[in-house]
Each structure stands twice: as C-alpha cells, then as structure tokens.
Amino acid sequence: MNPFNLLINYVIANSRSAFYNVPGNQEITNTALLTGMVSENPLMSYLIIDNKAKIEGEKFSAAAAVVPTTTSRPEAPGLPPPPETVVTPPTETKGTETPTEGNTVTLEKIREEISANSTTLTNITTEIGDLKTKIADIEVENKKFKESLTDIQTKLNEISGVKQTPDTVAASKNIVAQKAPTKNEPK
C-alpha cells in the first residue's frame, strides 16, 4: 500500500467521474481507493477506475433519459432528482421481422433444400449401383468374348491345316489379348 498510489487513484476517480458526468462519485472513489491499496500498477488502476466510471455514467444517463430533470427538489436545490428505477425492457422482434428483399433464409427453406438434396443423393447412389452392375456384366461378357474368339481362331487353324504348335497357340492368344485402338490413341 503506497500513499502516493492512493492519492493518484483519488485524482483519477474525480477526473473520470467528471468526464462521464457521474453525480455523487462515491462508488468510483471507493473503487479507486481499493485499487490503490491492492495494485502497485497505476495503469491497471486507471483502467479499473475508468471502467467503473463508464459503467456508472451509463447507468446515470439511462436513468436520466427515463426521468425528466426539470423537477425541482426543495430539500436540495440545484441537484438533479434521484434516479428512479423505471426501466423499460427491450422488446424482442425475432419472429415478427418482415423480409425486405426476399433473400431471407428460413428454417423451412433449409429443410426443403436438405430433403431435395437427400432425394438427389439417393438417386445418384442408385444410379452408381446400377452402373457398377453394368460394368461387372460387361467384364463378364468381355471375358466370354475373348474365350469365344480364342475358340474360333483355334478352329480356323484346324480348318486351314496348320498344325497346332505351342508357338501358334501363343501367337493366337497374343492376338486375342491385344485391344483395339480407341479414337484418342495414336495408331
């Protein structure tokens, strides 16, 4: 506890209460003296005192807006009347807002979009399953076609009178194993 800090905090409290137009700065003075006893850091004390003065100033300005200050008090002339505790709570207008441009997103629109996307996703999944089945059928048919082609070539060789040697059988299988060139491949 430094007496110099107490004095500085007292001056700061008076300055801040005048800045924020706080009448009767007893709360701010008490806060200033308490921070002067506890804190050795004048900047921290200043911030605490300023924040307290700001809060008290907002309370007074809110009360002054509710109560007119033109009344006079015979017991204390020249002082504003004591603040009344009449506070009107803010009204919520969450559900009563009207869309201005039609760009508002409602929960119903989001639900409809999700269900439409879910239906589309289900259809795509079904089509992918159908395509997988068709690809498997094509692979089976391709294998059968290669076997048939090998059989036909073997029969052609028998008819033409060429003796079947391991070299001719391997050559016929290589011919069958070759794929036909596609449009995009060079010849």
Give the tens place of pLDDT for each residue, 105-145: 788 888 888 888 888 888 888 888 888 999 999 999 999 99
User: Band of the pLDDT at 3, cuts 50, 70, 90?
Assistant: confident
Instruction: Check residues 15 and 166 and name the one with the higher pLDDT.
Output: 15
- Overall residue count recorded for the chain in this entry: 187
Residue 43 placed within a domain: yes
- Examine the domain organization and report whether 61 and 121 are in the same domain: no
Count CA within 13 A, CB hemisphere, residue 82: 5
Cβ neighbors of 97 (< 8 A, separation 6 or more) are none
3-state secondary structure of 91: coil
Judge whether 184 lies within some domain: no
Do 50 and 111 lie in one domain? The reply is no
Domain count, the chain: 2
> Which of 17, 42, 66 marks a domain boundary?
66
Look up residue 183 and give its two tokens: 């449009």
Which residue range(s) make up the domain with 41?
A: 3-66
Tell me whether residue 80 is in a domain. no
Q: Cβ(45)–Cβ(35) under 8 Å? A: yes
Residue 186 resides in a domain? no
The residue that leads in pLDDT, 170 or 72, is 170
> Is 92 part of a structural domain of the chain?
no
* Residue 9: closest CA among 58, 40, 24, 20: 40
Asked if residue 97 is part of any domain, the answer here is no
pLDDT range class, residue 181, cuts 50, 70, 90: low
Asked if residue 46 belongs to a domain, the reply is: yes
Residue that finishes a domain, picked among 66, 84, 118: 66
- 81 is a domain residue: no
